[in-house]
Structure 1
Amino acid sequence: MEKFSSALEAFSYWAKKNPNQVFLRQPINRNFIEYTYKDADVEIRKMISGLRNLGIQPGDHIAILSKNCAHWMMADLAIMAAGCISIPIYPTFGAETIFEILEHSESKAIIVGKLDDYAAQQSGIPDIIKIGVEMYGVIEEQTWEKILAQNEPSEQIHTPQPEDLMTIMYTSGTTGNPKGVMHTYAAFDQLINTAIDQIKMPPNPRYFSYLPMTHIAERAGIEMSSIFRGGTVSFPESLETFAEDLSSVQPQTFFGVPRIWQKFQEKILEKMPQKKLDKLLGLPLIGSLVKKKIQKKLGLSASVVNFSGAAPIAMSLQQWYRKLGIEINQAYGMTEDCILSHFNLPGKNKFGTVGRPLPGVTSKLSADGEILIRSNCIMKGYYKEPEKTAEMFTEDGFLRTGDIGEFDHDGYLSITGRVKDQFKTDKGKYISPAPIELEILKNNDVDQVCIVGSGIPQPIALVVPSEIGKKKSREEFNQSIWKTITDINPSLEAYEKVAKAVVMKEVWSVENGLMTPSLKVKRNRVEAIHTPMYPEWFKQDVNVVYEN
């Protein structure tokens, strides 16, 4: 497998070697519009000329506001090729946050692509150069299509140095305001070349991109990986067509956050209850056909490696998928370490852990059990935030992850909680909620859970029912959730035992601000809304309380 020193070098190589290979597949009105490597190369080179003619200079910051689409990747490559620095913005951010990021990052221009409601976000863009993509209905004074029509392809493509700044990635964050993580070309190059050595895939693999490319895992694992490996990337058209699009692509690698794996499981069990599934899987010939049919229907029949990350996944969920012939490798990393951290890999996958350190990574635990990481892929710091940057590092140069963990005898790391997620009950005892939440999530009637307990004697579980759970009567659901809690409690310390379940009236989502764009529960927001109710819920003389 070829090795490259930058995404630009890799893209140029594939554009010369495989000019007619499809690079990007963008569905519009149920038809995939395809861009070959040559097509994308021409558009990127024209964009370089267009940016120059608009007064953009090498070193300028250019933002991308868009859902994943063909133009996200072409925009990113064009920004690099023009010698500029990309500022990706989550497509779900509101106008106020968009404005803060554009101002803080000193962006000179913004490329606006596929969005659900650009009209609601438009007021967040200050007086900078705006480039809309007409294909997605974004019409600005400057558009991608106009620039292509008015400019010749540039012969000059920027050649970055390893330590040049490539991007500033503003974290979605479960706490606080977004911070701009600065990463160089060298960080991504080392990460992807390490992944190529460790994760074997077919030549020119197929990818399916749906999690926000603004998130480090998708940016590295799909965008950068596909460019370095000379792959083909397909995108879903909408949430409604997601399953159909994924099934039509059958990618050769798949990355899902735990919530996605839960949703897939839910859909399977809706059509085939667990008892029936177990019975069919137990029949030798039929079991094999059922597995293949489910894999094909999900879109995972060709996937040689599946990953889960961004939040802990329940071991029981991994075991459930393994019975279907689908192996999920849990991985661990963060924006600040460019996800060069710990991975489970095919053939070396230990459920319940996030794997061993990748080559080039040194990890250890602090006296308090916090995971500390050192590698050549660590961020250069937070943009314009020297104090916050300094807080992230120990005296000997290790990055503080904010996660609590433990290593087993084989060097596999398990995450046991977040430093900031720990809370104190009014008995003065600290509780780490993550392990308890994972146990409750084994119940297929539960979609989301948050263990809380500040200011009350014992913790309580805030739960959002799954689609399966919602179909049950209230009495059936109450019995189901309370049985799960009573099964878990004997294994917990006295002060950790869950006293009640509180059923939430609304789903926690990105739209209502209770989940991050990478689908992690925003604990601080959930707490801010519900903390005043804890004492009243705790006092109620029932095991399962319903939010009014």
Structure 2
Amino acid sequence: MADEKTVLDYFLANVEKHGDRIWMTQPMGKDVVKTFTFKETLAEAKKVAGYINSLDLPEKSQIAICSKNCAWWVIADLGIWMSGHVSVPVFPTLTADTTSFTLEHSEAKLLFVGKLDEKPWLEQKKGIPDSMPTVSFPLSPKDSAKTTWEEAISGASPIETPATRTLDEMATIIYTSGSTGKPKGVMTSFRAMTISTIGMCKLLKVTDKDRYLSYLPVSHGMERWIGECIPMYSGEGIWFAESLATFVADLNRCRPTLFLSVPRLWTKFQAGVFTKMSESKLDTLLMIPLISTLVKKKILKGLGLDKVRIAGSGSAPIPGSLLDWYRRLGLNLQEGYGMTENFNYSHMSRLGRTRPGYVGEAYDDVECRIAEDGEIQVKTPGKMMGYYKNEEATKESLTDDGYVRTGDKGEIDSMGRLKITGRTKEIFKTSKGKYVAPAPIENEFVRHNLIELAMVSGRGQPQPYAIIQLSEGPKGTASKSEEERTKIAAELEKHLASVNGTLEAHEKLSFLAIIKEDWLPENGFLTPTQKIKRAVIEDSYEKHVEGWYGAKKKVVWYGW
């Protein structure tokens, strides 16, 4: 029956339907690409399944994949599923300790090692147990595994028939990239994956004519859904990005019709445009009817986004001014909201019904409510089966009537649009005994085009403060000239006064500390999905806070 099909079944149906059509395009370096048709993908995945079967692993074992996005990630996942096992993504930028925890906690019996950056990998590989069987993808670092891809698939017989998987079986364990504590393993069923995928494709009208560039971490639930499950279901073509340095070229190769990014990257795209044309000049040109049309087309084509029909942003709030800027170019960004625990199937903004500061409306088959304490709770087909080997945390995260506790606070307007107002556990108390919710204040600061990231703190202090990371363009100019820094400081002091004017007396910020050091997933300041790690940032700069207060300045420069 059609309603019993999993995403794997839909992929197999697309192999029958599209066979010799190219499905995946993989950059191999030096402008060389390798392509995989639907048939070639299935044939390679059957070899992987045959190799896994030759290992005689216990039934429904966990098998891990540690790699940046690439075609072999998808092939390995298919092979794991077709051999009857469960896949466990391992983020390719984790510390050795977290890598070790993920592999040991998940009881992984095999690890696929893939496309990885050399420096993070040298640290991460220290967390792989010596006893762990490992297989390397093509494009993986030299000598990264005990068995190469070629050795594995050439030495085993391909399976003839894929294992039958049911909707209620566990498909994967996704370890959360949370900003505090040990990761928790979110058990996700084929049902959660499949129903969420069908719902998204229905809303966005995704077809096999669409094209998608896969570059956000597929180890995370959101990209796994958008960049793997949706192409499996719809037959949409997948292109992979080679590196950050080649990103624009990768975009131009793909010419995606669906494109997903995070606010930080949407800001970088804008900054890149402003390096070639000043903001004031662009504003002027966009007001001239005929020239405006030509300018819009040129900018979007230069970004590789001229064919995009649906553009999305998620993971963090995006400033309304940035949404407006892209809309002026003809690119309507739709925001989304979700979490690993509900396979990100929660909310999405609808064209013509967007509202700045709101993440959209619940999907048609999703229910949302605000609990008495202000927490957002969601009942969704994407709901997790629970946390692996953590019954206590599962009970804390799921209500008795089937809702996922998000840990976010929010409010819903009259049109059903949801606004995130903070995290239930991030609220802190000042020395005056007043409580401050940092997230809404941070959101106000990142609306300014000079600011890329903001973290509000002040636990035990008389007034809060914010640590600021400048956006890419200003960061470069600020390091060169005292005059430029003075201009930026004046602009940010004005913005600080403006934001403070909207806050209660106990929430008003004493100062902004502008940090030169980059906050990245690689150095532990951000999660792999670009969210700030609040505790890490607070701990890193704690010893400087008293000095910043003592300087009695509205803008403090640190590390410059």
| TM-score (normalised: structure 1) | 0.97
Give the equivalent residue in structure 2 for 1:133. 137
Give the equivalent residue in structure 2 for 1:106. 107
The one-letter code matched in structure 2 to 1:18 is H
Q: Secondary structure at the match of 2:447?
A: coil
Give the equivalent residue in structure 2 for 1:18. 18
Q: Does residue 365 of structure 1 match 2:406?
A: no
Give the equivalent residue in structure 2 for 1:495. 506
Give the equivalent residue in structure 2 for 1:5. 5
Residue 530 of structure 1 deviates from its aligned partner by 2.1
CA separation of 1:462 and 1:236: change in aligned 2, threshold 3 A:
same
Which one of 329, 338, 362 corresponds to residue 334 of structure 2?
329
Q: Deviations over 1:454-507 (max 9, x none)?
A: 121111111112232231422111101111111221111111112111111311
Give distance in 1, aligned partners of 2:416 and 2:554. Answer: 41
Which one of 399, 420, 433 corresponds to residue 438 of structure 2?
433
Query: Greater CA deviation, 526-535 or 453-462?
Result: 526-535
Which one of 456, 468, 483 corresponds to residue 473 of structure 2?
468
Give distance in 2, aligned partners of 1:394 and 1:533. Answer: 42
Give distance in 1, aligned partners of 2:466 and 2:453. Answer: 10
Which one of 249, 271, 275 corresponds to residue 276 of structure 2?
271
The one-letter code matched in structure 1 to 2:7 is A
CA contact (8 A) 2:67 2:114 kept: yes
Residue 443 of structure 1 deviates from its aligned partner by 2.2
Give the equivalent residue in structure 2 for 1:124. 127
Q: Does residue 88 of structure 1 match 2:99?
A: no
Residue 277 of structure 1 deviates from its aligned partner by 0.5
CA contact (8 A) 2:196 2:381 kept: no
The one-letter code matched in structure 2 to 1:506 is E
Q: Does residue 205 of structure 1 match 2:206?
A: no
Give the equivalent residue in structure 2 for 1:525. 536
Pairing of 1:40-55 with structure 2 (within 5 A): 40-55=41-56
Q: Secondary structure at the match of 1:107?
A: coil
Residue 3 of structure 1 deviates from its aligned partner by 7.6
The one-letter code matched in structure 1 to 2:523 is N
Residue 202 of structure 1 deviates from its aligned partner by 4.3
Give distance in 2, aligned partners of 1:415 and 1:476. Answer: 33
Pairing of 1:480-491 with structure 2 (within 5 A): 480-491=491-502
Q: Secondary structure at the match of 1:477?
A: helix
CA contact (8 A) 2:84 2:163 kept: yes
Q: Does residue 150 of structure 1 match 2:151?
A: no
Give the equivalent residue in structure 2 for 1:386. 391
Give the equivalent residue in structure 2 for 1:243. 248
CA contact (8 A) 1:382 1:389 kept: yes
Give the equivalent residue in structure 1 for 2:260. 255
CA contact (8 A) 1:111 1:132 kept: yes
Which one of 217, 220, 236 corresponds to residue 231 of structure 1?
236
Pairing of 1:280-429 with structure 2 (within 5 A): 280-429=285-434
Structure 2 portions without partners, runs of 5+:
479-483
Q: Secondary structure at the match of 1:155?
A: coil
Give the equivalent residue in structure 2 for 1:507. 518
Q: Secondary structure at the match of 2:101?
A: helix
Which one of 130, 143, 163 corresponds to residue 168 of structure 2?
163
CA contact (8 A) 2:93 2:124 kept: no
Residue 69 of structure 1 deviates from its aligned partner by 0.4
CA separation of 1:281 and 1:509: change in aligned 2, threshold 3 A:
same
Give distance in 2, aligned partners of 1:438 and 1:539. Answer: 26
Q: How many residues get paired? A: 547
CA contact (8 A) 1:212 1:518 kept: yes
The one-letter code matched in structure 2 to 1:239 is L
CA separation of 1:4 and 1:296: change in aligned 2, threshold 3 A:
farther
Q: Secondary structure at the match of 2:163?
A: coil
Alignment RMSD (CA, Å): 1.5
Q: Deviations over 1:318-347 (max 9, x none)?
A: 111111111111110000011111111334
CA contact (8 A) 1:44 1:78 kept: yes
Q: Secondary structure at the match of 2:409?
A: strand
CA contact (8 A) 2:336 2:348 kept: yes
Give distance in 1, aligned partners of 2:539 and 2:189. Answer: 36
Give distance in 1, aligned partners of 2:338 and 2:123. Answer: 33
Give distance in 2, aligned partners of 1:172 and 1:78. Answer: 25
CA contact (8 A) 1:201 1:304 kept: no
Structure 1 portions without partners, runs of 5+:
none
Residue 238 of structure 1 deviates from its aligned partner by 1.1
Give distance in 2, aligned partners of 1:270 and 1:51. Answer: 50
Give distance in 2, aligned partners of 1:42 and 1:323. Answer: 46
CA separation of 1:265 and 1:534: change in aligned 2, threshold 3 A:
same
Q: Deviations over 1:400-439 (max 9, x none)?
A: 1010100111111111111122221112111122222222
CA separation of 1:271 and 1:312: change in aligned 2, threshold 3 A:
same
Q: Secondary structure at the match of 1:204?
A: coil
Residue 153 of structure 1 deviates from its aligned partner by 2.4
Residue 258 of structure 1 deviates from its aligned partner by 1.0
CA contact (8 A) 2:334 2:351 kept: yes
The one-letter code matched in structure 1 to 2:151 is K
Q: Secondary structure at the match of 2:441?
A: helix
Query: Greater CA deviation, 394-403 or 304-313?
Result: 394-403
Q: Deviations over 1:191-245 (max 9, x none)?
A: 0111122111343321100010011110001110111010211111111101111
Residue 349 of structure 1 deviates from its aligned partner by 2.9
The one-letter code matched in structure 2 to 1:111 is F
Give the equivalent residue in structure 2 for 1:478. 489
Give distance in 1, aligned partners of 2:523 and 2:114. Answer: 23
CA contact (8 A) 1:456 1:538 kept: no
CA contact (8 A) 1:362 1:373 kept: yes
CA contact (8 A) 2:313 2:333 kept: yes
